[in-house]
Amino acid sequence: MEEEITESLLEKALGADLQIGAVQVLGSKRTRPDFLEWILRLSGEGDTFGSILENLTEVIEAVKETDTFESVEAFLEESEEQGKADVVFSVEEKQRTSITLGTESGGSFGDTTVGGSFHIRNVFGCLETLRANAGASPTSVTSSASSSMRSKNYFGLEFTKPFLFDLASSLGFRLYSSEEKLSYTLDKYGADVILSLPL
């Protein structure tokens, strides 16, 4: 009997009329607070306590997938406006930039690649990411007739803007180039536009 009463009270609470009032962001250093508010309202503001909680959960999961934050939490507080609740985001941002340098051996020619990558999170404060990578693999190639140097250089740049139209869409571009030399030179250049939409 007590369980039925508890479930009834819970259903009544989740179904209570409620709208989102103000949105506040705590712990944000580079992320624009108005952008997080825009994402929340983009997901659908909801008109009940239950629907607001559901939307908040979706927003938190989507924001975590951008790899921008160490942690993201959200709370509801009583609003000064009747029938509304204020949303408070508490975030801890990850380090904005990361650099990786290293060497890698392998490939059909036994190449040793010297390269590195550069990653910037939250470029303009709207959870964008910018990645760049470059490297070179000079290898001596020896045959019975002669000895020569085989080399390959590459460079790539990728930018991604999440939450284009909704929580599941994003837009980005990728630039890449490579140069390979042996007895000839092979240059490759290209660019891609990346549009991700929900099915």
Top pLDDT among 113 and 170 is at 170
The Cα 197–Cα 53 span in angstroms is: 24
Q: Exposed/middle/buried for 139, CB within 10 Å: 0-12, 13-18, 19+?
A: middle
What is this structure's pTM? 0.74
Pairing of strands 69-78, 129-136: unpaired
Tell me the per-residue pLDDT of 29-56, one tens digit each, with 9 for 90 and over. Answer: 999 988 988 888 776 666 777 888 888 8
